[in-house]
Chains A and B, each alone.
Chain A
Amino acid sequence: MSILVAKHLKKYYGEGETLVKALDDVSLQVERGEFVSIIGTSGSGKSTLLHMLGGLDNPTSGKVIIDDKDISGLKGDKLCIFRRRKIGFIFQSFNLVPSISVYDNITLPIRLDGKKVDKAFVKNVIDTLGLENKLDTIPAKLSGGQQQRVAIARALASKPAIILADEPTGNLDSKTSLDVLGLLGTTGKKFNQTIVMITHNDEIAQMADRTIRIEDGHIV
């Protein structure tokens, strides 16, 4: 049973002469525990695809099924709660809450959902990502790489059905990128976490179990 299924996804903008097909009939499946990277140049449609997969944008037609649920049927609060429970996001710009500590950032999605924090699991995640000495610090005091490690910890801590990472190393230098990708790959395996990562850099293909290439809105 696949954890993520996308069926015939299309996203069109404009019409007639100015019609732009950002995504043109994209179908894919991701199995539980898999680490899949989606590679494409800028303008290939990869970010549009990730937005559809994460319910951040609606497709013109087609379906996205996460953990057996067709998310195109979900609207407003329901979609919001669904995303909080099922999807961990890692963005290029980290998106940490600046006013609270690293630890509070990591456990925020769990607490927002009114769940109990699995302390042993969260500690394991924190140690694996080398954040044990930064827990009381606020994000602004951390380097870019460290902030992204916090974002990875936050995504892992709530044990989501799937983690979607959008150019997670886009704002980092090449050395720090190596760290972040290495950690993303090794923690994914260690905690059996399904990860879908978008990138334009094929150097990192090896970290993933599988690579999907996208060009002009098509899978190639």
Chain B
Amino acid sequence: MFSNKIVERLDQMLDDAMNGTFTESNYDESKLSRLESKWKDFLGTSVLSNQNLEAERHRLEQFISDISHQTKTPMTNIRMYTELMCEEVDNLREHENEASVVKIKKYAEEIARQNERLEFLIDSLTKLSRLESGTLEVVAGPSSINELVKSGIAAVKPKAEKKGLSFVTSDREDKDPVTASFDMKWTLEALINVLDNAVKYSPECGRIEVALTETEMYAAIHVIDEGSGISEEDATKIFGRFFRGSEVQQDDGVGIGLYLTREILSKEDGYIKVVSNDKRKGGEFILYLRK
């Protein structure tokens, strides 16, 4: 039978918990003290899950406002270029003029580019929501890193060739197969995002190096370009959703690729790191995959 004192203490513990004022009364080897610590743990984790819910709600709100902001710019641009194009067509009708044709072509290209940007944004958002809701699962299993790198480079090659970029990969890839535990489809997505960035920020005719290294626990893919790199200050922020770095990014980047990349890697116990440009010339991203 419980002594009155213990029942009283339990009653007090419940009251304190309801008021949010519970603290442990003592730390000793008694069962009651252990129970108090367990009670405190439980309250801590339920506070945490409430906080997480609240944070999640806030994130969703932020997300929706980000999406609306992100889609607005390309849509405004498309509307603007369409209007300009219409005006130019009228111009062309009045006086046959080669300059107008050139302008119209330029506007059409601009519209196509904005359209591409919208497509990429919506595509990434769909993937992200499927990933976060668990509709599509990341299933890590033994897979070939050589194959991953080959497919990744193949995917960005057309864009790279337009800029005259060349890829350099370390020789050992064919001789020495490297495997790790990852989901091929999703990880390819992650790698392509990083390679895409390298292509985007490389100077014309630059070189992009893809090197592999290994530690006991991780296989690492280094993507090194000759662009301006990431400053130390931005290095910790670029993996956030819709991060906007310097003004340079305003046009091309939609600030979701690296976030998606980090989410994918963390679902398979891997991670991504950037070497900031005070450490080395150019840009370097490192993807770590668990072996």
Contacts and interface: CB of A to CB of B under 8 A. Distances in A.
Interface size grouping (class) on chain A: 35 or more
Given A81-B29, A113-B34, A159-B41, A206 B23 contact: no
A9 to B, nearest CB: 21
Nearest to B24: A69
A174 B217 CA distance: 13
Interface in B99-121: none
Interface of A: 1, 3, 32-33, 67-69, 74, 77-79, 81-82, 85-86, 113-115, 128, 130, 143, 145-146, 159, 161, 175-176, 178-179, 182-183, 185-186, 189-190, 192, 205-207, 211
Given A68-B23, A78-B26, A81-B29, A206 B273 contact: yes
Given A81-B29, A186-B266, A206-B274, A145 B236 contact: no
B218 A85 contact: no
Given A81-B29, A182-B271, A67 B48 contact: no
B27 A32 contact: no
Contact of A82 (B27, B235, B291): B27
B40 interface: yes
Nearest to A143: B216
Contact of B27 (A74, A130, A192, A205): A74
B215 interface: yes
Contacts of A1: 47
A32 B23 contact: no
Given A81-B28, A186-B271, A130 B266 contact: no
12 contacts: A1-B47, A32-B44, A68-B23, A81-B27, A81-B29, A82-B27, A161-B41, A178-B215, A178-B288, A179-B215, A190-B266, A206-B236
A170 to B, nearest CB: 18
A115 B34 contact: yes
B83 interface: no
B51 to A, nearest CB: 7
A65 to B, nearest CB: 10
Ordered nearest first, which 10 A-B pairs have the shortest CB separation? Answer: A81-B27, A179-B217, A78-B27, A82-B27, A179-B215, A175-B215, A85-B37, A68-B23, A32-B48, A178-B215
Nearest to A31: B51
B43 to A, nearest CB: 10
Nearest to B36: A85
Contact of A192 (B48, B273, B291): B48
Given A68-B23, A130-B217, A206-B236, A186 B269 contact: yes
A183 B23 CA distance: 33
Contacts of A182: 217-218, 271, 288
Nearest to A70: B23
